[in-house]
Structure 1
């Protein structure tokens, strides 16, 4: 693995962690398609999962008082249910098809999340079922593509979840989704441990996450959460289009 690949990964993680600190999401959206291009889709999504574990855990420490732990437990349990088929899908798909899946998932999720009309308000008895469905979908998408954020954003819209509590709860949620994805991929053979990048890359990612969180804290007074989300969407869209194009070229080439 050359220094240029490590540099690309570190820059993507710094940007993603900064946007995550500002808006509550961004690591998966930005990092997953970028690392899929730099490292390949299987390994790229795996490293993106490891990044969300680190970023979610560190940011969570700053927002513990706003986390809705009752919903988090549902997300965690349902996320395991979704993560297993996601790992099996990664194991069976070729590199080209997996690149297409990652690109299509990110693009489709962005379109659905940010262009769909006003959704109905789900409450009462329907809310626990919606919470479980969102957790399972998020776990599946996070394992298959490294991106769970859009599924959770849609849940937040249906549940009319206030932004502060939503952004706080997403941090331990993304952390546990990342842990589930890493575990199920390793145990199902979706990503071989012998194919992992050197430990130095993971060390660089930890430093990049810390730097991104710090940068996000410094920018918090100047950049609105909505502005950060818009930037995350643009960067994620560009990365997803590139991953999709790469997958198509691999299949037809």
Structure 2
């Protein structure tokens, strides 16, 4: 098996672990590395495809705790937001797009951490929910990482963790699905060109990661898992940024 294939499968496996343990993180953890291993557009689409499966699997277990009125407003925003994100990915050359993806991931994580530290608060209304969804949709289409914007909204509104994590799953399905559709309509060549055997391997490691996450979720503290996710996401974002800057130079 070629080293690049092993790295792709590893990135998918670790992203699935993160998604199952923390409720989010597939795009943040896997996205930067898949963008490095593939081209930015097809790499983000692969993240979106796997993210739909990962979030859908978690949703099958948590749907009873979803807050559907909030989900509807967030989902409306994310569907609208995927269009500018998709336009960015199809309009920019490879090097600037890698720089943009790296910067978006690093900035979104940094802002989320800062918001949590400051302890600020915003009202729960249509405007804040639509805005969070819109930013998430743009991020999902551009970088494959729509979670931080909604995570920031949850922190700012003091959204209870269990219902937030449950509501996040169908929201991510809608956001990533919209991102795939928008990019497919704008660029017919955006779909990842991988051998059938690699697609099978991705499916296998995705399931394995979700099952492994089930086991680890009972043994690993959520704070520890979240810290590991943030470290990996920052590292991947920095590597993507560095590669894009290197290509520009």
User: Per the shorter chain, which TM-score range?
Assistant: over 0.9
How many residues end up aligned between the 2 structures?
Answer: 248
Change over 3 Å in CA distance of 1:196–1:249 after alignment to 2: same
Contact 1:13 1:208 in 2 (8 A): yes
Q: Give 1:32 shift.
A: 0.5
Q: Does 1:178 find its partner at 2:176?
A: yes
SS of the residue aligned with 2:24? coil
SS of the residue aligned with 1:192? helix
Change over 3 Å in CA distance of 1:66–1:241 after alignment to 2: same
TM-score by length of 1: 0.93
Structure 2 Cα separation of the partners of residues 128 and 166 of structure 1 = 16
Aligned to 2:224: 227
Aligned to 1:121: 121
Structure 2 Cα separation of the partners of residues 203 and 172 of structure 1 = 24
Q: Give 1:209 shift.
A: 1.8
> Equivalences for 1:36-115 in 2 at 5 Å?
36-115=35-114
Structure 2 Cα separation of the partners of residues 136 and 151 of structure 1 = 9
Change over 3 Å in CA distance of 1:23–1:144 after alignment to 2: same
Contact 2:46 2:192 in 1 (8 A): no
Contact 1:22 1:224 in 2 (8 A): no
Gaps of 5+ in 2: none
SS of the residue aligned with 2:118? coil
206-215 or 32-41, which moves further after superposition? Answer: 206-215
Structure 2 Cα separation of the partners of residues 192 and 76 of structure 1 = 27
Change over 3 Å in CA distance of 1:28–1:161 after alignment to 2: same
Change over 3 Å in CA distance of 1:195–1:56 after alignment to 2: closer
Q: Give 1:119 shift.
A: 4.0
Report runs of 4+ in structure 1 exceeding 4 Å deviation: none
Contact 2:8 2:34 in 1 (8 A): yes
Gaps of 5+ in 1: none
Aligned to 2:3: 4
Change over 3 Å in CA distance of 1:160–1:203 after alignment to 2: same
Contact 1:101 1:244 in 2 (8 A): yes
TM-score by length of 2: 0.94
201-210 or 224-233, which moves further after superposition? Answer: 201-210
Structure 1 Cα separation of the partners of residues 195 and 179 of structure 2 = 19
CA RMSD, 1 decimal: 1.6
2:208 to 205, 208, 211: 211
Q: Can you list the C-alpha shifts for 1:128-169, whole angstroms capped at 9, x where unaligned?
A: 211100111100010001111111110101111111111111
1:160 to 158, 161, 168: 158
Change over 3 Å in CA distance of 1:201–1:67 after alignment to 2: farther
SS of the residue aligned with 1:196? coil
